[in-house]
Amino acid sequence: MSAMRGSIGHVHLKVAAIERSLGFYRDALGFDVTARIGTSAAFLSSGGDHHHNAINTWESLGGTPPPAGSTGLYHLAIVYPDRAALAEAVRRVVGAGIALEGAADHGVSEAVYLRDPDGNGVELYWDRPREEWPRNHDGSLAMFTRALDLEVLLGS
């Protein structure tokens, strides 16, 4: 079996309205706009890269989310450097009135789940240090899904 030698770079999302999506990705999640192509696309970054996420209306202006039961993006995951940064992002999301769909402790990470204005799933998470990851007796990961106490997270 061959090991993957690359990495995942960035994601481009088809959205119905650029300004509405900027309200979510820029204002609620805190991404910086690095470039725009008129009113049809915006490129967003965290930490100064040319872009981590791009939103565009090239094939979706005024469109609707795909129906349940169809294929496509399950969710995009945004990793924060530590628990405090995740908590700050969740505070901004809640403060913007965006509904949370769930919150989970996976042993290796803590995650909060929500949807963007176009119905795309979004996971906000941070990874625990590798030395704290739960392991089986053979050394393999022993990931799990347990409820994450949001009050405790937001109190941190």
pLDDT in tens, 37-94: 999 999 999 887 778 899 999 999 999 998 989 998 899 999 999 999 999 999 999 9
pLDDT for 156? 67
pLDDT for 1? 57
Distance CA 75, CA 59 (A): 19
Single out the residue of 15, 84, 91, 93 nearest to residue 55, CA to CA.
15
Domain count, the chain: 2
pLDDT for 49? 79
State which residues form the domain around 27: 7-61
Whether residues 28 and 102 fall in one domain: no
Distance CA 121, CA 119 (A): 6
In the sheet that holds 11-14, the strands lie side by side as 11-14, 53-56, 41-45, 32-37
Decide if pLDDT at 2 tops 90: no
Decide if 2 is inside a domain.
Answer: no
Can you give the CATH number for the domain in which 146 is found? 3.10.180.10
Mean pLDDT of the chain: 93
Whether residues 94 and 156 fall in one domain: yes
Whether residues 112 and 149 fall in one domain: yes
Distance CA 51, CA 107 (A): 29
